[in-house]
């Protein structure tokens, strides 16, 4: 990542810049950008018109663009009466949410306001967000489209409105306790105290960083202010089907963060593995293969199916601890050991404890399932002892 600072006049002096921004009540505005060169000049103009007169500020752009957005920001910053920082990321890890986390780490003020770079979030609301947080002693202040005085008018078309409604309903249904008091968990416009969050605990994926903050690192006191979602100033929305899938993966990752939730997800994924298993068994016996070797081979289809889903849905953020071939081998051995272990367990339950065949089979299934889950987590996806520092730095395959 490269760090470039652009600021007018004497604010180029780091000592002056730090003194100007770090005073109580100051705010750092974090703006993640991706090919927003047509919007950033207007955004900086709007910030200049509405924020510095009421609140000392700095602006940190975290840029993942492939166009000339960084250069446009540098040029526009020459006319701004506040410091402007551009952090251009060569590798956009975590998407827009990852960009926000980088901005939070770089912020020079305790109050941080996150907003989009397309002018749909009105900068005139920035002082009100901070003032509301100070008055209510809140750690998080959400600009909401769904409370009295707010509006989603800037959402283009009925399709985006429907998607927004569905995403809001889904997230609030999955996290009723964590999102209590937040009417608009999909909002990308909010203020947060840096002292109330631990940036290193965040694992963003895609553009819904508020959801990540609220679920993993929610401040105890949360409040909201209404805002009217504006029309985009220029360009087109970056929303896409790919971003939608990333959002769903992010939801699953958040929901399965606890061991119990992961175990439930592991069981549900395992149940879906019967589909490729039975299909493979049918196809192999259809071409004349004996049912015993056919079952062994078909079981590998189920194992492969389960491995792909578990990799992408349950343990996506832990794949860097081992090479992919190591994970595949370990997962395959554990999955097939299930079959080998189940028969002796059934015999033990029947002959040693006098259980019936049906009850013994059910108990053996539960026992091997729990052992397989614990083994998968411990032997496939947890860091190796004594090498946590090196393995954590490895890039996921």
pTM: 0.65
Per-residue pLDDT of the chain (397 residues; tens, 9 = 90+): 444 444 443 333 333 333 344 344 589 999 998 888 888 999 999 999 999 988 999 999 999 888 888 999 999 998 899 999 999 998 878 778 888 888 988 888 889 999 988 888 999 999 999 999 999 999 999 999 888 888 776 665 566 667 777 888 888 888 888 888 888 888 889 999 988 887 777 776 666 788 888 888 778 889 999 998 877 666 566 555 666 677 777 777 777 677 777 787 888 888 888 788 888 888 888 898 887 788 778 878 888 998 998 888 778 777 877 888 888 888 888 888 877 887 788 888 888 888 887 788 778 878 888 888 888 888 888 765 544 443 333 333 3
In tens, the pLDDT along 16-46 reads 333 344 344 589 999 998 888 888 999 999 9
Which residues, at least 6 apart from 320, have a Cβ–Cβ distance to it below 8 Å?
Answer: 391, 392, 393, 394, 395, 396, 397
Residue 180 is predicted with a pLDDT of 85
Domain boundaries, the chain: 2-255, 259-392
Residue 393 is predicted with a pLDDT of 34
CATH number of 2-255: 3.90.550.10
């Amino acid at each position: 990542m490269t760090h470039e600072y652009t600021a007018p006049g004497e604010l180029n002096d780091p000592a002056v810049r730090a003194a100007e921004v770090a005073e109580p009540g100051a705010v750092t505005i974090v703006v993640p950008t991706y090919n927003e060169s047509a919007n950033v000049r207007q955004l900086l103009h709007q910030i200049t018109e509405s924020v510095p007169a009421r609140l000392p500020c700095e602006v940190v752009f975290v840029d993942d663009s492939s166009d000339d957005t960084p250069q446009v920001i540098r040029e526009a910053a020459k006319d701004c009466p506040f410091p402007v920082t551009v952090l251009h990321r060569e590798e956009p890890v975590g998407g827009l949410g990852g960009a926000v986390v980088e901005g939070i780490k770089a912020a020079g003020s305790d109050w941080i306001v996150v907003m989009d770079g397309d002018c749909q979030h009105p900068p005139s609301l920035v002082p009100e967000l901070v003032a509301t947080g100070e008055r209510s002693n809140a750690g998080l202040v959400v600009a909401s489209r769904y409370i009295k005085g707010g509006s989603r008018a800037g959402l283009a078309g009925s399709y985006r409105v429907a998607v927004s409604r569905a995403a809001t309903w889904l997230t609030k249904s999955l996290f009723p306790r964590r999102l209590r008091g937040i009417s608009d968990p999909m909002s990308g416009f909010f203020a947060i105290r840096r002292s109330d969050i631990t940036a290193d605990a965040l694992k963003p994926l895609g553009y819904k960083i508020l959801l990540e903050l609220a679920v993993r690192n929610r401040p105890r006191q949360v409040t909201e202010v209404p805002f009217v979602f504006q029309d985009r100033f220029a360009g087109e929305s970056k929303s896409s089907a790919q971003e939608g899938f990333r959002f769903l993966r992010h939801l699953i990752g958040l929901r399965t963060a606890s061991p119990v939730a992961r175990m439930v997800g592991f069981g549900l994924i395992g149940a879906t593995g019967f589909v490729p298993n039975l299909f493979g068994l049918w196809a192999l016996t259809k071409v004349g293969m004996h049912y015993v070797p056919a079952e062994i081979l078909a079981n590998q289809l189920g194992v492969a199916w389960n491995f792909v889903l578990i990799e992408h849905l349950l343990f996506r953020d832990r794949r860097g601890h081992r090479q992919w071939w190591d994970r595949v081998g370990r997962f395959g051995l554990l999955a097939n050991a299930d079959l080998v272990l189940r028969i002796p367990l059934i015999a033990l339950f029947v002959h040693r404890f006098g259980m019936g065949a049906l009850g013994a089979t059910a108990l053996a299934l539960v026992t091997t399932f729990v052992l397989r889950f614990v083994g998968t987590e411990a032997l496939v996806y947890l860091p190796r002892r004594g090498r946590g520092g090196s393995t954590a730095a490895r890039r996921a395959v």
